[in-house]
Structure 1
């Protein structure tokens, strides 16, 4: 398997954070608008996973100024 190579482009400072939610796992990604993928995280869809997601977010805030907006649920619980 080949490791993902991040492009050698200066970050724009504008990022998008997205979370793909599923019943058992959630996958989050940070994408810079010019440099591409910057970080990903997979967590379980439970309290422990949510806490890991919040800790990951705290690390991102140290690197990039973020505005955190909770998504609207896409499926009934």
Structure 2
């Protein structure tokens, strides 16, 4: 039986054995630091739910200016590796 993190609904398999979590702010005034923390926490919780260690393979953040309906966006790519 496979148990996964119930609060990690936005974790998506990347098709190469890894995973992706993306968060986007509601407005241009959203705090990119909060979005970064949120994706990293979600990735960590997901790997923990599999009893594996988080290995971050990439982190991208959109850059200002945020105009005409755009807002901060953060994406983390990661793997869940066997524990040591």
Smaller-chain TM-score bracket:
0.3 to 0.5
TM-score by length of 1: 0.35
Higher relative contact order (CA 8 A, sep 6+): 2
Q: TM-score, normalised by structure 2?
A: 0.33
